[in-house]
Every structure is written in structure tokens, then in C-alpha cells.
Amino acid sequence: MVFTGGTNVNQSFDAVPTTLKELAARAKVHPSTISRVVNQDPGLRIAAATRMRIEALLRETEYRPNGVARGLKLRQTMVLAVVIPDITNPFFGGLFRGIEDGAAPRGYQVLLCNTDGSPDRQRAHLHSLIARRVDGVILASSFLKDPAVQWLRHQRIPYVLVNRFSDEGLDPFVGSDDVTGSRLATQHLISLGHVRIGHLAGQPTVSTGVLRRRGFQAAMAEAGLPARPELQVESGFVEEGGIRGTERLLAMSQPPTAVFAVTDMVAVGVYTAARRMGLRVPEDIAVIGYNDIPLAGRLIPGLTTVHVPIHEFGSAAARVLLEQIETGHVTPRQVVYAPQLGVRGSTVAGADKRNVAHFATNGRGE
């Protein structure tokens, strides 16, 4: 690393952004008058000459009211907060874009908080956010029976849970029907003739983990197949857990011929582990994931997965939140999307050639 001191410009921050009071002195009117012009007060009666003078001054100085002072007086900050486990996970990247795309047109900006799955960090972030008086919170990192969510309920601040819930039906929520989705996934594997099917089951502390496992078990039972406990392995929700879980599954005397992973990232772990062990997907082991992140379509073979509208999750969450903010009421509205099966080459050899759809990111920039 090269480290340069740079040219010694060394400016200090002394220039002050203009205040209403200063403008008032310049225009020889009272600050309140300017404020009304700025905010286009409907009941404002003002002499044409004065208005012109003020408007000219506003243009000249490019005056913009101090948002902090405004926030204090109006009791609204025009800031939303998003709390997620980790923005480098593509699922949350897409989710965030959905949220911002829903919030920005209405003038809101968005604070992003990563918890890394730590309840402590989640709690700390939430406390800060409430103290900051953000106008609303979108929480996508909650646990089952999450104390932080219970606390949030009592703060009487608009909030929405996304993807994961804490206590079913008690909170405003946007997500999909995880049981149905995982049943779809499992049925797909069953329909292909798989009998020994493994499940990488997330975590029992998170709703998506529990529900997707439940759907898996339901589908197995409906098909008259045994859902053997040793074939259901906790994996967390990211790649590393998928690798470990796959190693456990494939070390069994009679390993499964197919694996349903609780998320696409876990499914990526299955690919990695299979590759290390010299197994082919889907011939030696079929894999199905959940979420349909952009990466799923890029893997070779393409990852069969349960598609959920990630970006829509975000924009719907923003809608639900803004509705609460604007009406001042919290109806625990639930928006639940129906998941859909997306078949690619990780379960059906050759599917990738038929199914040429690419799930490219809309990414810009570097």
C-alpha cells in the first residue's frame, strides 16, 4: 500500500451552510416569512415584491433547510432503516434495491445495518435507530420469538419484517409461503424418482429454516417416503454450512441422491463440496435451492431453485412501511407471495439448454 500525504491544502471546515436567520437578515424580512416561501405555505399572503426578493435570494444561495432542525420540529426524518444479516449476500442486495426503489421516489433515504446474524448487533442497531428517530424500520434478520421484535412492537414505530417472521401473524410482514415453496421443491425431487433425499435445514431459530423443513417433511410424508432425521442436517444459511452439511450427508453409508438446500447459498456449498469429492451434479447428486438469486442461473449446471420475487419483497416492504408512516397506524398487514419452481440443470440433466433464461443482475458500475 502506498500512502501519500497529499498536497497540503489543509482547509478547515469553516464555511457554514446558510440558515434562515442569515437569509432573513439579507432580505430584511423575518425568518418565518422565508420559511413560508420555501414551504409554499398555502395560506401565505405576501407582497409580490417581497416574494420576488426572497425567491431571488433563495436561488442565489441555493438554500436548503437544515434537515436535522426540520426533523426535530416536524418529528420526521425522512430516513428509513434496513436491518439485514449481510449485504454481501446477493439475496439482501436485491432486497435492498427493492426497498430503495420503493422509498426513494417518496423522498426517503435508507440506513443499512448488517448484523452478521448476531442478536446482539441486531439489538444494538435497533436501539440506535430508534434513538435516531428513523421514520421506520425494515427487519430481515429476525429470529423466531425474537425479543428484539417484541421490543420493537412496543416502541410504536412503524416497522415491517421481511422474509423471516418472529411470531406468525403478529407483525407487519412481507415474504413468501415457505412451506409451499419447500413442498414444491421436494415434490420435484420425488417426481424425478429420488427416494433418499437430504435436507440442509438452515437453523431452528429462524422461521425460514423451520418452515422449509416442515414443507420438506410434509412432501415426504405425502409421498409415503420416510423423512429420516439423519438426512436432515442444520446448515445455517450460507455456503460454509452447505459445505459442512454436504460432507456429513455424503459420508453416510447410504448417502442421499438428492439434496434440498434451504437457500441458494447453501446449495452453492453443496456444489463446492460435491466438486471437492469428485461428484457430479446432477448425476451423482441432484441439488435444489431456494430464493433464485442471480448466481443460481450462473452456476454450472444451473441451479434448480424455488423462485421468490426478491426485489418485490423489498418494494412491497417499503410500501407497507410507508403506508403505516403516512396513516400513522400499524395494521399488521401480511403480504405473502406464492413461490414458484424454476427447473435448471442441477436436477434435470440438459435442462439448462432448454431453459436459456439468464438471471443477470442489473448491476452498474465497477
- Cα dihedral across residues 260, 263, 267, 269: positive or negative: negative
Q: Which residues contact 53 (CB under 8 A, 6 or more apart)?
A: 27, 29
d(CA 214, CA 205): 14
Q: Is 219 helix (H, G, I), strand (E, B) or coil?
A: helix
Q: Which cell goes with 8?
A: 497540503
Residue 200: CB minimum distance to a copy of itself, A:
14
Among 8, 14, 28, 254, contact with DNA (rule: CB under 7 A): 28
Q: Which residues contact 292 (CB under 8 A, 6 or more apart)?
A: 264, 305, 306, 307, 308, 310, 342, 359
Kindly report the length of the chain.
366
Contact status: 253 vs a copy of itself (CB under 8 A): no
Contact status: 260 vs a copy of itself (CB under 8 A): no
Contact status: 302 vs a copy of itself (CB under 8 A): no
Which one of DNA, a copy of itself, none is in contact with 35 (Cβ closer than 5 to 8 A by kind)? DNA
* Angle at the Cα of 354 from the Cα atoms of 348 and 358, rounded to 5 degrees: 100
Residue 72: CB minimum distance to a copy of itself, A:
5
d(CA 311, CA 233): 29
Among 29, 51, 53, 65, contact with a copy of itself (rule: CB under 8 A): 65
Residue 217: CB minimum distance to a copy of itself, A:
21
- Residue 260: what are its φ and ψ, rounded to 5°? -105, 115
Are residues 281 and 271 in contact, defined by beta-carbon separation less than 8 angstroms?
yes
Contact status: 157 vs DNA (CB under 7 A): no
Which one of a copy of itself, DNA, none is in contact with 213 (Cβ closer than 5 to 8 A by kind)? none
d(CA 354, CA 332): 42
Nearest to 206 by CA among 172, 264, 164, 171: 164
Strands 286-291 and 304-307: parallel
Distances (CA, A) of 274 to 111, 188, 198, 260, 283: 39, 21, 14, 14, 11
Are residues 269 and 240 in contact, defined by beta-carbon separation less than 8 angstroms?
yes
Q: Which stretch binds DNA (CB under 7 A): 25-33, 85-93, 237-245, 313-321?
A: 25-33
Among 23, 27, 103, 113, contact with a copy of itself (rule: CB under 8 A): 113
Among 23, 33, 54, 92, contact with a copy of itself (rule: CB under 8 A): 92
- Cα dihedral across residues 193, 249, 271, 266: positive or negative: positive
Among 44, 56, 61, 67, contact with a copy of itself (rule: CB under 8 A): 67
Contact status: 100 vs a copy of itself (CB under 8 A): yes
* Subset of residues 57 to 96 that bind DNA, contact rule: CB under 7 A: 65-66, 69-70, 72-75
Q: Which stretch binds DNA (CB under 7 A): 11-19, 77-85, 206-214, 216-224?
A: 11-19
* Subset of residues 31 to 60 that bind DNA, contact rule: CB under 7 A: 31-33, 35-36, 38-39, 41, 45-47, 49-51
Q: Is 357 helix (H, G, I), strand (E, B) or coil?
A: coil
Closer CB to a copy of itself, 85 or 198, in the complex: 85
* Subset of residues 29 to 58 that bind a copy of itself, contact rule: CB under 8 A: none
Closer CB to a copy of itself, 63 or 196, in the complex: 63
Q: Which stretch binds a copy of itself (CB under 8 A): 30-38, 74-82, 188-196, 218-226?
A: 74-82
Q: Which cell goes with 190?
A: 420425488
Closer CB to DNA, 34 or 281, in the complex: 34
Which one of a copy of itself, DNA, none is in contact with 21 (Cβ closer than 5 to 8 A by kind)? DNA
Contact status: 15 vs DNA (CB under 7 A): no
Contact status: 330 vs a copy of itself (CB under 8 A): yes
Q: Which residues bind DNA (CB under 7 A)?
A: 16, 18-21, 28-33, 35-36, 38-39, 41, 45-47, 49-51, 65-66, 69-70, 72-75
